Amino acid sequence: METIIQEVTSKKQMNAFLDLPYVLYKGNPYNIPKLRFDEAATLNRAKNPAFDFCEAKYWVAYQNGKVVGRVAAIYNKKYVETWKNNYLRFGWIDFIEDIEVPRALLAAVEGWAKVLGCTAVHGPLGFTDLDFEGMLIEGFQEIGTMATIYNYPYYPVMMEQLGYGKAVDWVEYRINVPEKLPENIAKIADLVEKRYKLHVVPMTSTKHLKPYASEVFKLVNETYSELYGVVELTQRQIDYYVKMYFSMIRVDCITLIANEANQLVGFGISMPSLSKALQKANGSLFPFGFIHLLKALKKNTEADLLLIGIDKTLQGKGVNAIVLREFHKNYQKAGIKIIESNPELEENKKVQSIWDHFPARQHKRRRCFIKHF
């Protein structure tokens, strides 16, 4: 069957691009539908500040007039300058189980890459490290999270058939929250707090969080700078993320650590799991989607770890034990029994070794694929 590729240049085509996953994964018990307005904003040149230094093209695949695939291509100029790799990114890739569809979609991406003089195409990646990245290659029968991509098992098989290989993998853990914090974690946390004159920032509402919001992302820039594909967030991006996400965060799921000068030196951000609520909302806040989300934020037995960062001068000195101690204390109060780590680079053994102290299992793996020209 002939596959026709069209570049997205109209509102109708963008709607087709945004709508495909809700059709392709309808009824799938493991997929977590993204909020449609959030997806639309990220891809919108007028709204996403990443377009200050990014170019993007989107394509939709059709067979017999029916949408059967989609892909985005992103040329991140700051990535090229920072990493000295003239690579084009792809993301938001979905397709039916017909290899001719991803073949045609990726041919469009590769064609643009060659016009730009790129030497490789890699993905799935987003505009920034805070966008969705990594194609699932293990854990297809595990429920996803709001921060990750779900895809069918045939996706990575077809990527390999089309000449794409491994660039990097991320792993994920499902962790049981023990009744009692491991004694060694508690001792290290107390010792480090005293030795380096650190303290946990007291917070009872988001108004206590807001003064530190920008500092959190500045610390993200510092601590995440050497991770695969990461590009420093601009102030406009920081302001965008603070406005979009910090208003809905529960402060008892956040730990901020400051030094004696009250400067932020570490943080841990988590939130109650929205996976099941997002499945019920199915991409829309209205008329009832927001109710499911509010209920999940208020009462839950599961949580997602989103970001942990420690000032480089204090890394490897046990500060993360303070974050774990505070998380454990707050999870016990909130009735949280299980947490999802979300993706961690497979070579990041320091982070993964933390879960050796808890009942945990590595249950998912995802991959960034690459194809050199």
pLDDT value of position 119: 98
Average pLDDT, rounded, for the chain: 95
Pull the structure tokens for residue 30.
């493991």
d(C-alpha 160, C-alpha 166), whole Å: 9
Token pair for 169: 């993998």
The Cα 175–Cα 352 span in angstroms is 11
Q: Which fold has domain 4-170?
A: Aminopeptidase (3.40.630)
Please report the pLDDT score of residue 245 as a whole number: 76
Name the nearest CA neighbour of 68 among 141, 16, 28, 27: 16
Pairing of strands 120-123, 87-95: parallel
Across the range 312-336, mean pLDDT stands at: 95
Closest CA to 35 of 278, 225, 286, 354: 278
Q: How far apart are CA 200 and CA 324, in angstroms?
A: 12
Question: pLDDT per residue over 3-26, tens digit each?
Answer: 999 999 999 999 999 999 999 999
CA–CA dist 121, 370 (Å, integer):
6
Fold agreement (4-170, 178-336)? yes
Look at residue 340 in the predicted model and tell me its pLDDT: 98
Find out whether 271 and 293 touch, Cβ atoms under 8 Å: no
Q: What are 81-122's pLDDT values in tens digits?
A: 999 999 999 999 999 999 999 999 999 999 999 999 999 999
Domain residue ranges in the chain:
4-170, 178-336
Looking at the DSSP bridge assignments, the partners of residue 269 are 254, 307
At how many degrees (to 10) do helices 183-195 and 319-334 cross?
120
pLDDT at 342 over 90: yes
- Mean of pLDDT values over 301-324: 94
Topology adopted by domain 178-336: Aminopeptidase (3.40.630)
3-state secondary structure the chain: CCCEEEECCCHHHHHHHHHHHHHHCCCCCCCCCCCHHHHHHHCCCCCCHHHHCEEEEEEEEEECCEEEEEEEEEEEHHHHHHHCCCEEEEEEEEECCCCHHHHHHHHHHHHHHHHCCCCEEEECCCCCCCCCCCEEEECCCCCCCCCCCCCCCHHHHHHHHCCCEEEEEEEEEEEECCCCCCHHHHHHHHHHHHHCCCEECCCCCHHHHHHHHHHHHHHHHHHCCCCCCCCCCCHHHHHHHHHHHHHHCCHHHEEEEECCCCCEEEEEEEEECCHHHHHHHCCCCCCCHHHHHHHHHHCCCEEEEEEEEECHHHCCCCHHHHHHHHHHHHHHHHCCCEEECCCEECCCHHHHHHHHHCCEEEEEEEEEEEEEC
| pLDDT band, very low/low/confident/very high, at 327 (cuts 50, 70, 90) | very high
pLDDT over threshold 90, residue 1 = no
In whole angstroms, give the CA distance from residue 371 to residue 373. 7
What does the pLDDT read at residue 366?
98
Mean pLDDT over 295-311 rounds to 95
The phi, psi pair for 121, rounded to 5°, reads -120, 135
What pLDDT band is residue 246 in, cutting at 50, 70 and 90?
Answer: confident
- 125-158 residue pLDDT tens: 999 999 999 999 999 999 999 999 999 999 999 9
CA distance 73 to 234: 21
- pLDDT band of residue 353 (cuts 50, 70, 90) is confident
Write the CA distances from 115 to 55, 87, 88, 91, 167, integer angstroms.
13, 12, 11, 19, 23
CA angle, residues 129, 52, 342, in degrees to nearest 5? 10
pLDDT for the residue numbered 56: 98
pLDDT-derived band at 208, boundaries 50, 70, 90: confident
pLDDT score of 244 = 80
Confidence category of residue 183, pLDDT binned at 50, 70, 90? very high
Residue 71, both tokens: 């892909």
**Cα–Cα distances in Å, from 44 out to 63, 90, 129, 133, 222?**
26, 16, 17, 18, 27
Q: Is the pLDDT of residue 219 over 80?
A: yes
What is the band of 351 on the pLDDT scale with cuts at 50, 70, 90?
confident
What average pLDDT score do residues 237-249 get? 84
